[in-house]
Structure 1
Amino acid sequence: MGQDHATVFGPGRALGKIERTDISEASGLIAAVGNPHHFWTHNDSGDKARIFLIDRSAAYKATFYLGGITARDWEDIGMMERNGRHYMVVGDIGDNRGKRPYVQLHVFEEPVVDVGKLTVDTILKEQIRTFTLKYEDGPRDAESLFFDPQDKCIYVISKRELEVGIYSSDLPETPVDTMILRKVGKLPHTFITSAAISPDGTEILLKSLMEVFYWKRRPKESIPAALSRPAIKLPYKPEPQGEAISFAHDGRGYYTLSEAALGMTPFLYFYQRL
């Protein structure tokens, strides 16, 4: 199942708590690029199609609505760079009953915010590219995705199997007909709730409700090959319902964020690289 190696990153430190009541089920987290030292997050199923910007103390800064988009079950969020511009990838990939014939990815350029004032704005439908995908081996529940900056593919990790699946697809610049998520590997873990990749693509994080797993990628190594090795278990401070994880954009560590559960307020935690 992996080896303990607590010397890579230090213990979790709470940076601040989520005071904003409409960020109640934070399911995805990604370090902002155009808004340094900030993070984008979103709620789980049942919310409107919107993303929130918070700072390193978890203080709310902005809300952006995705105009014309319906959020069915948003579960994770990623970042990708193309032609020097940064785009966000929101995964509408949740499927508790494993019956959705198709899932969706919404891709749009990262908004840049004047963090000196609170912002509520809309990203217009024509600025959003929606990709429709299906799994080659039938519907899967999933809560984890990342875009690999090296091979330019999207990766989705399924959730509920005793050995979760690793699925991958190209992500062209413009949507095409239904794309296929092909199974490229599996992992000896279950209930994976979030995934992250470092900005240079050399490190990978996966998170379950109670553990964080880490892989260091070798030069020119594929994602399936990297994930075929045993994971290193990283420090993790259990959260009310910990679902989200992200690398720091500057590589200094990683962050986790939880849904609000059991009457407990979620905190943004930071695990510093040693």
Structure 2
Amino acid sequence: MTVIHPTAIVDPKAELDDSVEVGAYSIVGPNVKIGARTTIGPHVVVDGHTTIGCDNRFFQFSSIGGAPQDKKYAGEPTRLEIGDRNVIREFCTFNLGTSQDEGVTRLGNDNWIMAYVHLAHDVQVGNNTIFANNAALAGHVHVGDWVILGGFSNVHQFCKIGSHAMLGMSTSLTQDVPPFVMLNGNPAAAHGINVEGLKRRGFSREQISDIRNAYKLIYKSGLTLEEAKASLAKAEADAPGSAVYLRMIREFLDSTTRGIVR
């Protein structure tokens, strides 16, 4: 049976799997759905139209599914969706989406979210990310898979961070980050690719070399962005074992609206 601490308040309309645990003094609102084996620690508030998957663990004092910090929000039934096997540490704040976007904030699967992390309205986070303490994402930010954000990183609204990218501690980001790129500073500056992360994820030496060459085309060759994209398209044909990753970079460059950190 669901284990609910006597001091917790769970609205009778909330939908909790039989294996969910809710800790002391936590509050679960009427429009919340929580999947199997998820644990809600003490002093957590889960509100709004929030759907949480299986095997998640929420530590104490987090606020999940609160109203967007957006003056235009007028109580629309927007949503927060959280996948499976995420760890959410102390004092995190995840807000609902807004009607000015898709109306939903999303966190995928297998993410490691440390203390005091903020996901603002309409943020979209992929899978297998690591967000260190006090990382903060403004509204409408998109984050790909396997991204790492250092402590006290701040991301401006509408920015995109490509898969496998890494932001160092206290980075202030106001433009997009292509996949695989490592950067740091305020303002942010690129410092190569995330080689160690790629090795840990099983990328071959040849693939890492091809991704490094793609980085050089964008950042070291003196080419314009359009010229670099044309060179990347040629590199895809010449490196079939890495083509999917080179295409990922090129398509990201095609999709950017804020321009990339360069």
TM-score for both structures, normalised by structure 1: 0.26
Higher helix proportion: 2
Larger strand percent: 1
Structure with larger RCO (C-alpha < 8 A, sep 6+): 1
